[in-house]
Amino acid sequence: MLTSRNLLSQTIRKKRHKKPKKPKTKTRNKKQEPIYKNQEDPIEKEELEEDTEGFNLKTSAPSNTHGVQPLGNLYLNLGSINSRNTGLGNLQILTDELVLDILGFVDGSQLGVLATVSKSFYVFTNHEPLWRNLVLDKLNGEFLFNGSWKSTYIGGIYPSFDCSGCSCLKVRDFYSDYLFQSWLCASLEMKPEWLERDNIVRKKGISVEEFVMNFEEPNKPVLLEGCIDNWAALQKWDKDYLVKVCSDMKFAAGPVEMRLQGYFRYSDQVMEERPLYLFDPKFVEKVPVLGSEYEVPVYFREDLFSVLGNERPDYRWIIIGPAGSGSSFHIDPNSTSAWNAVVKGSKKWVLFPPDVIPPGVHPSPDGAEVACPVSIIEWFMNFYGATKNWKKRPIECICKAGEVIFVPNGWWHLVINLEESIAITQNYVSRRNLLNVLHFLKRPNAGELVSGTQDRVNLHDKFENAIECTFPGTINQLVQKAEEKKAQEKNHPSGTQ
Ligand SMILES: O=C(O)CCC(=O)C(=O)O
């Protein structure tokens, strides 16, 4: 259970314990003040002073729109009654998630009517993700983001309706962890302690042989500096340039396709738990000039999936997103390895080796699905701390513009953009992981596991045949080499030759 003691009030603490040598740049605006106002208890103040760990709200974070408080505050506010329950009537026995799931079945005008039923219905029906789903469902990518998903919906569906004077009511005594956490995850800054660990190996100017021997062969991440300095993209790609060269072309952003202009209008304003992330695998086919403004770094030029020509699974993506967007924990598709180059902005990476499932992550037994916290910041809030005592501590880093990270196959990784970012990533298969990939494509549930292509079940045979045609004998040689290595490891465990 959350209380503003253990979460929100820490924002105040942080402010009071500001270290003189590092001036704090974030300030709370006036609108945010009321949410801390219920702390009249003198003990509270003392506790606040004692604790030095803090959470910061983003400078531009709106105050908790409807005054929702964490459930724990109900027990601090003696005599208070939870208007969440009184206003729901018989529905109060349902969980918040279930109430929202049910409201997810009704359309915008019905939500508007239900909002008038009670204070509680008002809060639930104004939950932004409900309106986001309506917008994406009804308007696809053809929306003009207008500060909130609700007003975007109204503006898109009822263009003549003027909602400029529509007020946003604050509701007293509404307590809900679920709704509070959703707002909190959208509004929190990354804590400095989540960012400070940087234990990845960094290399500049190494040879391909060194890369293969020290990183690709042993399947270890590395951050490569200076290997994309010649990319035109580094100089050219910014919002204005991309909008110009991409013109009316649409790109995949979450479940919809959007023009860049519309996407940037959205990403410039939005503050939500899980911002729409532009992640497009066909960007070079759509806008060939983008493909001519970057090249595959020298370390990753062997890409055996290319023997499949147009039938190869998706392998290259342009990735664009605002601060707070990113990728929650996953392993890359089809057992491939990847490289990810930041062109603008910066990204925080957390990586766990294949034999360590990250805390808070629950893959299904067949590996086809992964359950993990919806928002990345939620993972940091609830699970990052556990990694300190984890079996194998993760590899972490911040990858900045001009840097490239190598993500070895099978590694779990999570990425959050610390500022608005533009990146290119490619997944590839070299001789070092060809056998892994073939093995993966042959798994009995390949139909569910294989991704990025229509013909999932036959991909193994097609790939194996194409490799055999183009590089006859290669697979056998690799199998033999792998067997020799295994035998060697058996005779000399952990390299004690
Ligand atoms: O959000 C990002 O840049 C990371 C992308 C990623 O993890 C992936 O492509 O597998």
pLDDT tens digits along 78-91: 888 999 999 999 99
Among residues 138, 154, 188, which one ends one of the domains? Answer: 188
Pairwise CA distance, residues 407 & 429, whole Å:
12
| 291 CA from centroid of ligand 1 (Å) | 18
In a domain, 485, yes or no: no
| 415 CA from centroid of ligand 1 (Å) | 6
Q: Is 413 in the pocket of ligand 1 (CB under 6 A)?
A: yes
pLDDT of residue 372: 92
Nearest to 108 by CA among 42, 158, 43, 177: 158
Q: Are residues 135 and 173 in the same domain?
A: yes
Q: Which own/partner contact pairs does 206-212 have at CB distance under 8 Å and 24+ positions apart?
A: 208/298, 208/299, 211/299, 211/406, 212/299, 212/432
CATH of the domain at 355: 2.60.120.650
For ligand 1, atom 6: residue with the closest CA: 327
> For a substitution probing ligand 1, which of 279, 318, 319, 427 has the most ligand atoms within 8 Å of its CB?
319
pLDDT digits (tens, 9 = 90+) for 404-450: 999 999 999 999 999 999 999 999 999 999 999 999 999 988 888 88
Pairwise CA distance, residues 51 & 90, whole Å:
41
Q: Are residues 140 and 279 in the same domain?
A: no
Q: Is 326 in the pocket of ligand 1 (CB under 6 A)?
A: yes
Q: Are residues 147 and 172 in the same domain?
A: yes
Residue 9 pLDDT > 70, yes or no? no
Q: What's the pTM value of the predicted model, to 2 decimals?
A: 0.87
Q: Are residues 184 and 198 in the same domain?
A: no
Q: Is 319 in the pocket of ligand 1 (CB under 6 A)?
A: yes
| 69 CA from centroid of ligand 1 (Å) | 34
Q: Are residues 177 and 292 in the same domain?
A: no
| 213 CA from centroid of ligand 1 (Å) | 25
Among residues 403, 431, 459, which one ends one of the domains? Answer: 431
| 488 CA from centroid of ligand 1 (Å) | 35
Q: Are residues 413 and 290 in the same domain?
A: yes
In a domain, 383, yes or no: yes
Tokens of 264: 């940037």
Among residues 431, 449, 476, which one ends one of the domains? Answer: 431
Please report, in angstroms and rounded to a whole number, the separation of the first and last CA atoms in the chain: 54
Tally of domains in the chain = 2
Mean pLDDT of 458-465: 94
Q: Are residues 182 and 237 in the same domain?
A: no
* Residue 179: Cβ within 10 Å count: 25
Q: What percent of the chain has pLDDT over 90?
A: 73
Which structural domain, as residue segments, surrounds residue 102? 9-188
Q: Is 425 in the pocket of ligand 1 (CB under 6 A)?
A: yes
pLDDT digits (tens, 9 = 90+) for 22-39: 332 222 222 222 222 233
Q: Are residues 109 and 257 in the same domain?
A: no
pLDDT digits (tens, 9 = 90+) for 89-109: 999 999 999 999 999 999 999
Q: Is 63 in the pocket of ligand 1 (CB under 6 A)?
A: no
In a domain, 361, yes or no: yes
Mean pLDDT of 269-290: 96
Task: Burial-class residue 25 by CB neighbours within 10 Å (0-12, 13-18, 19+).
Answer: exposed
Mean pLDDT, the chain, rounded, equals 87
Q: Are residues 92 and 207 in the same domain?
A: no
pLDDT of residue 62: 66
In a domain, 422, yes or no: yes
In a domain, 343, yes or no: yes
Q: Are residues 266 and 330 in the same domain?
A: yes
Q: Which atom of ligand 1 is nearest to the CA of 414?
A: 7
In a domain, 72, yes or no: yes
In a domain, 18, yes or no: yes
Mean pLDDT of 248-276: 96
Q: Which atom of ligand 1 is nearest to the CA of 327?
A: 1
pLDDT of residue 438: 96
Q: Are residues 200 and 56 in the same domain?
A: no
Q: Is 332 in the pocket of ligand 1 (CB under 6 A)?
A: yes
pLDDT digits (tens, 9 = 90+) for 474-493: 999 999 999 998 888 888 77
Q: Is 415 in the pocket of ligand 1 (CB under 6 A)?
A: yes
Q: Are residues 277 and 231 in the same domain?
A: yes
pLDDT of residue 59: 73
In a domain, 71, yes or no: yes
pLDDT of residue 169: 87
pLDDT digits (tens, 9 = 90+) for 25-74: 222 222 222 222 233 333 233 333 333 356 787 777 666 778 899 999 99
